[in-house]
Amino acid sequence: KDAGLPMWSAVLLYDFEFYMDFAGYTHIALGSAELFGFHLPENFNLPYLSRSIREFWRRWHISFSTWLRDYIYIPLGGNRCSKARKYFNVMMTFVVSGFWHGAGLNFIVWGTLHGIYQIIGGLLAPAREKLTNRLHIQQQSKLRTLLSTLFIFCLVDFTWIFFRCHSMRNALSVINALMHNGTASFLQLVSEQFSNGLPGFWLVIGCIALVMILECLQLHFGRLYPKWLHWNGLLQWACIFLLLIFVAICGVYGPNYSAQSFIYAKF
């Protein structure tokens, strides 16, 4: 039996499951604080639209990345030192980030991979800029932005395998399943969903697409505040009621649904 098919779907969808779960409960906390008059800073800023690993960490779990910068990276010397020492500081910072999540080797590998990504990105930056200048590729061209975003998404997606699995053995098993007829499995996954039309699958894909569309709009136009927030009376409450129904339907879906605690709560 080809194990690549379910693994492809699990690995690709875990990115969004973890992000929406983590960012979701963060937004609940922010909203609850606002009710009592406290304004807390954002903890996520469209991380999956990043064009580099460095940018990803400026957008992902901002409170944690800021803590790593202020209490690990800068005390080690930050970037005010030789290039070799700077990259050592980067690597140590991300190794600590792995230890912070757990003592398992899988978490250490997860942090180390992000450190390696950062170092390779820094080393290749001059060559990358020379290449784009020779090819006359504009810095903000849509094609470059799209390809960079997809590439960074794939790199981050790979690291989540180690973060999600409970051990290195499990992580390597997942990677082996992806490598086993991987391309054919991914194409099979897409073709089966188009042919069978499984409603659960398309509900998930539809919600992911909606979130990503809203994030793209927010990236280009700034934070989106719906006009109905400024309405008064019946129309405003009708919109709130419809929104609650939508959340209830999408949040409690399927006969095998069971409430789970937030994924990041165990950290």
Catalytic residues: 101
CA separation for the pair 13, 27 (Å, rounded): 21
Residues 6+ apart with CB under 8 A from 227: none
Q: Name the phi and psi angles at 260, rounded to 5.
A: -125, 155
CA separation for the pair 122, 118 (Å, rounded): 6
Nearest to 65 by CA among 79, 87, 47: 47
**How many CA atoms are closer than 13 Å to the CA of 83, on its beta-carbon side?**
5
Measured from the Cβ of residue 29, the count of other Cβ atoms closer than 10 Å reads: 12
Residues 6+ apart with CB under 8 A from 264: 18, 21, 22, 25
Measured from the Cβ of residue 48, the count of other Cβ atoms closer than 10 Å reads: 19
CA separation for the pair 12, 156 (Å, rounded): 11
For the chain, the residue count is 267
**Side chain identity at 103, as an amino acid letter?**
A
Q: Which two tokens stand for residue 261?
A: 């605690």
Nearest to 64 by CA among 222, 266, 267: 267
